[in-house]
Amino acid sequence: MPQTKLDELSDQQKVKFYQKGTFTVGNRLVDPDKRDVQASQDRSNAITSGHRACQGCGEALGARFALDAAMRAADSKVIAVNATGCLEVFSTPYPETSWQLPWMHSLFGNAPAVATGVQAAMRAKGREDVRAIAQGGDGGTTDIGFGCLSGMFERNDDVLYICYDNEAYMNTGVQRSSATPPTARTATTPAVGDAPGNVFGTGKNVPLIALAHNIPYVATASVSNLHDLEAKVQKAMSLRGARYLHIFVPCPLGWGSAAEDTIKVARLASECGLFPLWEGELGVVTGSDPIRKKVPVEDYLKTQKRFAHLFKPERDEERLAALQRMADHNIERFDLLREDKEPAI
């Protein structure tokens, strides 16, 4: 492709890749080969406009970027299997559908197994060029679909599973899932009593559990860093076997955050350390996205009404400190404050 003036400008300015998604540098200032799939007019629009997601839905955004990137990587030969949940409901109210790729919804807890079936059928037919993707929310992934997910991993079935994590059962009205953070208010962990909101359990880090299956690829991603998200989808699609991508997708409705703040909230989650961005292969963490400007967890928590009880009527110092310790633990575990500020990815 011939260099345009804008490309030359881009070269001159040496735009840092990490600026993408941080200060919203337009695609036009980025090298053509680094422009995201969404910048391309021939993107597949796997999930097209007109669906019924809420304003500011992180999941709709994440799904569009992830699937379009997967479609490009697989020459549009992708079959998607969806767990029951928001993404399924808002995209396919009968008789309408937003999906421009072959798409199937079976049950809440079986998307990984259904995708295994799709992949097995394709293999039996000698159509291994057709790739299977399964996707679901955190409830469908970390709770009810967990058995099927682990089975799919353990067999190393050629499926990319994408979890859109908005940290609760949003489709049924914001109930707690095993991905709900401690102290968060949900419909089943109300902000009342001595310890309002969700309990401090041990946590259930499904990306690390996925990694423990020694599958070819595991990554976390966020809608605050869409270029990174696309790169991880691309990487996942370049490999065969079981792959897992866990995408952080704020839910304005369930979290009580402003619809226009979805990206900001997602960015704060990573910058404070509560949602680290990392990737791993075959059981080993191979890279992480260092925090450039560390913020205290409360900068993140304050953007959401689900944590309002931590600050009003008085500050809950003890539990704020506990949440900060969780973030600090992540920072230490993935070495997120290391000197090289370039992402290792």
Of 113 and 253, which CB lies nearer to another protein in the complex structure? 113
**How far is the CA of 117 from the CAs of 59, 217, 282, in angstroms?**
25, 20, 23
Check binding of 295 to another protein (CB under 8 A).
no
Instruction: Give the separation between CA 71 and CA 45, rounded to whole angstroms.
Output: 9
Work out which of 53, 60, 86, 113 binds another protein, going by CB under 8 A. Answer: 113
Of 157 and 289, which CB lies nearer to another protein in the complex structure? 157
Instruction: Give the separation between CA 63 and CA 58, rounded to whole angstroms.
Output: 9
Smallest distance from another protein to CB 147, Å: 6
Check binding of 107 to another protein (CB under 8 A).
yes
Pick out residues in 155-174 that bind another protein (CB under 8 A). 155, 157
Of 79 and 160, which CB lies nearer to another protein in the complex structure? 79
Query: How many binding residues for another protein (CB under 8 A)?
Result: 47
**How far is the CA of 47 from the CAs of 56, 202, 222, 270, 330, in angstroms?**
16, 36, 18, 26, 33
Pick out residues in 67-106 that bind another protein (CB under 8 A). 76-79, 81-82, 88-89, 92-97, 99-106
Check binding of 43 to another protein (CB under 8 A).
no
Listed residue (203, 200, 205) closest to 319, CA to CA: 200
Work out which of 1, 5, 12, 124 binds another protein, going by CB under 8 A. Answer: 124
Smallest distance from another protein to CB 146, Å: 11
Smallest distance from another protein to CB 123, Å: 5
Q: 252 exposed, middle or buried (CB, 10 Å; 0-12, 13-18, 19+)?
A: buried
In sequence order, the 6+-apart residues with CB closer than 8 A to the CB of 320 are 297, 298, 301, 310
Left, alpha or beta for 144 (phi > 0: left; psi -120 to 50: alpha)? alpha
Interface ranges with another protein (CB under 8 A): 76-79, 81-82, 88-89, 92-97, 99-107, 109-110, 113-125, 130, 132, 147-148, 150-151, 154-155, 157
